[in-house]
Every structure is written in C-alpha cells, then in structure tokens.
Amino acid sequence: MLILVALILIYSNCQSLDFFYIKTQQFSFIRQHFIWLSFFIGFAVKIPMVPFHVWLPEAHTEAPTVGSVLLAAVLLKLGSYGMLKFLFPLFYDITLFYTPLLLLLSFLGMFYVSLTAIRQVDIKKIIAYSSVAHMSYVVVGVLLCTSSACVGSVFLMLGHGLVSAGLFFCIGFLYERFKTRNIKYFGGVVSLAPLLTFAFLILTLANTAFPGTSNFVGEFLILLSLVFNKSMFEFALLSVSMILFGSIYAF
C-alpha cells in the first residue's frame, strides 16, 4: 500500500511513470522525503528489515515447504532489488541523508536477530531468522554505494536464494518423516539418512559464509568495503561478530 501511495504521488507530480523521465523531474523537499519513506518502508517489509521482520518467522513456520522455498529464494529479494532499482537511482540525495540511520538499524537488527535465532528450537524458525540477518547484510552492501559492496549484495542475494531454498527442502524432508521441527529430536539422523545429512551440512556451511561457498563471496565483498571505508571501521567489527553468531546458531 505504501509503495502504491508513492507511485500515485510520483504520477501526480510527473504525469508519467516512465523511469527515465522521472529521473529528470524535480520534487519538493517534503514530497521527496515522503515518497522515499513510503518506498523504503514497503521494501523494508518485503526484505524484511528489523523492526519490520516479525511476519517472516511465522510465515515460514506456517507455510508448506514449497511456500517457504518460494518465499526465501525469490520473494524476499524483491525488496532489495526495489532499493537498487528504484529507491537509490531516483532519490540518491535522500538516501545519503538516511544512510547512517539505516546502517545502524541494519547492524542492530543483525545482532538482535542472531541472538533470537540462537535461542530457537524450531529448526524452520532458525533458518527464517538467519534469512533476516543475511538480508540485513544485503541492505548494508546496498547502502555503502560502492561497486564492490553492491556486487557483493547481488552475489549474497543469489547465494542466499539457493542456500536457504536448499535448507528449507531439507527441513521439509525431515518434517515429512518425523512430523516435528524440534531440533532436539534430530540427534543421530545421520545413521538414518546419511546423504540428506551430508547435503544439510554443506548447505549449513554455505549459510555461515564458509570459504568456497556462494555466500562467502557476497559477505566478503561487503566486509571488504566496510574495512576500506575508514568511517565504517566499527561497523566492520560488528559484521565480523555477526559471522561468529551465525556459526553459533548454525551448529
């Protein structure tokens, strides 16, 4: 609804929704902020970013396996794509104005979501909260507005789409056979399903951005951009701690 409101405001100002034509038009200061916030909140709910993330764990828990796969692999990426494609090219100055606040929200969100994932016993919720943390990492890369960080965000979106989809497939196989998602009941499953356990291990390593996996490329490029940005050194330290927390809730 908020994105629709932003589109209506753009059309009322430009009499067109042509992307390249909109880029040439001028908006009032208040209208720019209002359109930007409408776009951003709509995309933040879709990603989802903290504090707009509360729907995702429940949606994953209640959805069937195919629904969780579609949600994690495709639909969550629409929010970050919207930011890259529409929000920043059209309103770059407003984006720079809000960047410190959004970076702070992203890192606090990653810290909070990682701690929340550690205390979960529902294996599907653990993967759902890890998706929130990874997508917050994607937002950080987009907000840095450097070529390496943006490429890292795209790589992380692609890698996370493949890895999270595979993890939800593995969880679906386990649930169909054991009728539970409580992680405490899956001890010794390697003796019953060694191939599934091996696939789950590889996907879990990829979810922690283990070197040689798809997620590693994206997170490494984003972290590299943070390290080389002298004003972001504290955020780089926080990012390293997020990787540590990711290893804790994964294993």
Query: Helix/strand/coil (H, E, C) string of 146-192?
Result: CHHHHHHHHHHHHHHHHHHHHHHHHHHHHHHHHCCCEHHHHCCHHHC
Domain boundaries, the chain: 2-250
243 pLDDT above the threshold of 80: no
pLDDT at 48: 85
pLDDT single digits (tens) 70-129: 888 888 888 888 888 888 888 888 888 888 888 888 888 888 888 888 888 888 888 888
Whole-structure pTM value: 0.84
pLDDT digits (tens, 9 = 90+) for 152-192: 888 888 888 888 888 888 888 888 888 888 888 887 777 88
Q: Which of 186, 206, 58 is nearest to 132 (CA)?
A: 58
DSSP 122: B
List C-alpha distances in Å: 241 to 118, 142, 248.
14, 20, 11
> Would the pLDDT of 236 be above 80?
no
State whether residue 249 is helix, strand or coil.
helix
Statement: residue 239 has pLDDT above 80: no
pLDDT mean over 194-217: 86
